[in-house]
Amino acid sequence: MASLSTTAMRAPMVLPRTAAQLLLRSAVASSSSPASSIRAISSSASNKRALPVDPSELPPAGPGPASSQSSASAPVTPRAPDGTTRHDWTRKEVSEIYNSPLLELVFRAATVHRLVHPKNSVQLCTLMNIKEGGCSEDCGYCSQSSKYTTPSTPSKLSDVDEVLVEARKAKANGSTRFCMGAAWREVGGRKRGFNRILEMVSEIRGMGMEVCTTLGMLTKEQAAALKNAGLTAYNHNLDTSREYYGKVVTSRSYDDRLSTIENVRQAGISVCSGGILGLGEEHEDRVGLIYEMSRLPEHPESFPVNALVAIPGTPMEGNEPVDFPTMLRTVATARLVLCKSIIRLAAGRHLFSEGEQAMAFMAGANAIFTGERMLTTPTSSWDQDKGMLERWGLRPMVSFEDEIMAPHASNGAQPTQKEAAAKEAQV
């Protein structure tokens, strides 16, 4: 663990950003596979010792789509360099990235991560369940669905004051984003409840925190009202690939979800949308999920990666836990395809060891949920996570630190002088 920590923390500092960018871009522009990208970096670098990792020490490309692309006689299709936002990914390209040798994939993702995002920084978010259980949807993984008999107890919508106490506690513990979830199919006609949520959003934004909600399906008008109240982001997951989705949820369609995402985006709110691993899906479904995200008019500001926490009483109670290599492969692929998005380790993070989580940070994850609880499942505590970040040379982000959050900083509370100074200091 100690030696990985040392390597991980020193690696990005030995090559100036611009030089790294040039090397990476020239290498990737002349190559269509991760394996040949690495080789091109190696041959074009006049100072091999300046590279973060000597490519000659990386494992050779294994069998599969990645290695089948690198024949000398094969036509080379020029494409945008790594670290460029693209909306024209083909599913084959995403699949090739996902299926490349894992450590090469992590290396490539780590390199792009350090080009595009603040270095060694992790966003801390806290999630509060403001209305638990009794949901009319049938999401097969969820303890809050009224279709299943689970340990979840339905509750009423929380009071504003109760929520503000929790938001202040989160802020005092270093969280910069506060998320609120209500177990509803849709906001629908809940006018009083919705107004209460608008008040929560406005108050929490006034504390200088980023605010996110997840309230089910939204109309355009509701999205606009949330925007006016100061909402930073709205979470609405696609969960899995379009093909596998019907095995997970039948009470609303994939296109319903895309339609809410579009309403959120049109209102000028950042989209937080990701998926869950361990639903019984195949590798190609994880590819399909990332591919769907890559085709959105704007990539999600945040891509949460959840690992199923199997809840007794749900149809997925007997599912095998997702293995860490699959989690890592998904994070690294998302980092390369959705290069500017925040990759968020969400539910189920506590199932992985600290070393595994550190590897995920290396591969591009740069946000976690922390605090006392997820919606209905455990999470690591603030103290545990502070210790982890310290041990691995990471630091918590300030509000609106990452470039992708910037457009939304103008809505309501601006970053404080202290926040701006902190950002300046770490550039």
Q: Which residues contribute to the site for ligand SF4 (CB under 6 A)?
A: 135, 137, 139, 142, 144-145, 183, 185, 216
The catalytic position among 39, 108, 114, 135 is 135
The catalytic position among 114, 139, 205, 329 is 139
How many CB atoms are located within 10 Å of the residue 3 CB? 7
Residue 179 bears catalytic tag: yes
Residue 202, both tokens: 């406005």
The catalytic position among 179, 265, 335, 339 is 179
Nearer to ligand SF4, 137 or 402 (CB): 137
Residue type, 313: G
Task: Report, in Å, the least distance between residue 239 CB and ligand SF4.
Answer: 8
Nearer to ligand SF4, 249 or 332 (CB): 249
Residue 425, both tokens: 């200091």
CA dihedral 161, 167, 171, 172 (to 10 degrees): 50
Residue 48 C-beta-side C-alpha neighbours within 13 Å: 9
Instruction: List the Cα angle 206/210/216 in 5-degree steps.
Output: 110
What are the b/e assignments for 121-155, b being 16+ CB within 10 Å? Answer: bbbbbbbbbbbbbebebbbbbbbbbebbebebeee
Residue 125 bears catalytic tag: no
Task: Report, in Å, the least distance between residue 320 CB and ligand SF4.
Answer: 21
Give the C-alpha separation, 327 to 330, whole Å: 5
Residue 140, both tokens: 């097969």
Give the C-alpha separation, 54 to 41, whole Å: 10
| Cβ 33 vs Cβ 100: under 8 Å | yes
The catalytic position among 108, 114, 142, 265 is 142
The catalytic position among 272, 286, 335, 349 is 272
| Cβ 283 vs Cβ 253: under 8 Å | no
Look at residue 182 and give its three-state secondary structure. Answer: strand
Task: Report, in Å, the least distance between residue 260 CB and ligand SF4.
Answer: 11
Residue 272 bears catalytic tag: yes
The catalytic position among 39, 177, 212, 265 is 212
Task: Report, in Å, the least distance between residue 236 CB and ligand SF4.
Answer: 10
Instruction: List the Cα angle 392/398/404 in 5-degree steps.
Output: 100
User: Would you tell me the crossing angle of helices 102-116 and 17-29 to the nearest 10 degrees?
Assistant: 130
Task: Report, in Å, the least distance between residue 316 CB and ligand SF4.
Answer: 12
Residue 186 has φ and ψ, to the nearest 5°, of -160, 160
Nearer to ligand SF4, 185 or 242 (CB): 185
Task: Report, in Å, the least distance between residue 41 CB and ligand SF4.
Answer: 42
Give the C-alpha separation, 426 to 422, whole Å: 7
Residue 339 bears catalytic tag: no
Nearer to ligand SF4, 170 or 183 (CB): 183
Nearer to ligand SF4, 137 or 281 (CB): 137
Residue 235 has φ and ψ, to the nearest 5°, of -95, 130
Nearer to ligand SF4, 32 or 144 (CB): 144
The catalytic position among 39, 252, 265, 344 is 344
Nearer to ligand SF4, 137 or 285 (CB): 137
Give the C-alpha separation, 323 to 277, whole Å: 9
Task: Report, in Å, the least distance between residue 82 CB and ligand SF4.
Answer: 34
Q: Which residues are annotated as catalytic?
A: 135, 139, 142, 179, 212, 272, 344
